[in-house]
Amino acid sequence: MKDLRFIVLLCLFASALPAITAAQTSPANSAPAPTSAAPALAQPSVGESPQDTILEYSPPPASSKTTGLNAYVTGFGASKRVVVWDNTIAKATVPETLFVFGHEMGHYVLHHIPKEIAIDAIILLFLLYLGYRLSRAMLAQWGQQWGIRDLRDWASLPALMFVITVLAFLATPVFNAVSRHFEHEADRYGLEVIHGIVPNPNQVAAHYFQKSGEKNLADPDPSEFAKIWFFDHPTRKERVHFVARYNPWSKGEETRYVK
């Protein structure tokens, strides 16, 4: 059980590593944000001075490596930040960029990063226990035939790798489903936060997904199998469908996040 505890700790650390290393990266240069309307979104929800927290990031610009459009939220503590690629600012309209910023702000305000790390760590814990039981059962059955004494024998490494690979493959749909849920909620937040600031927010968001899908060469309508196994965001079709229709204001319904 001592070995198991060590592996669990190692995996928890590994799952948090991308966020930790991202937090240590600081911008080489900073200048006032080009999207002057972004503070209008940040003010009511975040409650801190957006002028201090919205920076232009350079170098290297995303355009030096790709023509795609994207943005993300990253970091821990004081380094938490939304990054909007220069391609997005250049190729999307200001209302579209505000929707993108609103989506990323949703991840930030709704604490999606710590929530997803916690959920993934719980799933991982379950998978590790399953892996532990499976590898023991496998060696009890075939260990002698394979010349492996037990799990402490270095010769068991290929068998362990096999179990980990199979479990990681089978667990991929679960991790993807968790991610797709948070991405869907961030889309909802993005629409709610630009309501009243951007005219026709449904049309703006739908047009952005259409445009960025074309630029990023995204599959417009993948099969259900491809979605379950390969998509950590909802498909373009699903996103366009949702953002074009989500309108609680017109029906007199409650908004979920931005009141």
Report the distance separating Cα 232 and Cα 96, nearest Å.
Answer: 22
Residue whose CB is less far from Zn ion, 136 or 184: 184
3-state secondary structure at position 83: strand
| CA-based nearest residue to 35, from 106, 105, 90 | 90
Residue whose CB is less far from Zn ion, 106 or 143: 106
User: Quick one: which H or E segment has residue 74?
Assistant: strand 71-74
Does 113 help bind Zn ion (rule: CB under 5 A)? no
Among the candidate windows 40-48, 114-122, 179-187, 221-229, which touches Zn ion by CB under 5 A? Answer: 179-187
Backbone angle region of 217, left / alpha / beta, with phi > 0 → left and psi within -120 to 50 → alpha: left
User: Cβ 134 to Zn ion, closest distance in Å?
Assistant: 34
Among the candidate windows 33-41, 93-101, 181-189, 244-252, which touches Zn ion by CB under 5 A? Answer: 181-189
* Residue 3 burial class via C-beta count within 10 angstroms: exposed 0-12, middle 13-18, buried 19 and up: exposed
Residue whose CB is less far from Zn ion, 85 or 132: 85
Among the candidate windows 3-11, 146-154, 176-184, 243-251, which touches Zn ion by CB under 5 A? Answer: 176-184
User: Cβ 225 to Zn ion, closest distance in Å?
Assistant: 23
User: Cβ 183 to Zn ion, closest distance in Å?
Assistant: 5
| CA-based nearest residue to 60, from 36, 81, 86 | 86
User: Cβ 208 to Zn ion, closest distance in Å?
Assistant: 13
CB 211 within 8 Å of CB 153:
no
- 104 annotated active-site: yes
Residue whose CB is less far from Zn ion, 128 or 243: 243
Residue whose CB is less far from Zn ion, 184 or 195: 184
CB 203 within 8 Å of CB 219:
no
Dihedral angle over CA of 62, 191, 238, 232, nearest 10: 50
How far out from the chain centre does Cα 189 lie?
Answer: 15
The count of residues interacting with Zn ion (CB under 5 A) is 2
User: Cβ 71 to Zn ion, closest distance in Å?
Assistant: 8
Does 186 help bind Zn ion (rule: CB under 5 A)? yes
Does 71 help bind Zn ion (rule: CB under 5 A)? no
Catalytic residue, candidates 96, 104, 183, 192: 104
Active site residues: 104
Residues that bind Zn ion (CB under 5 A): 183, 186
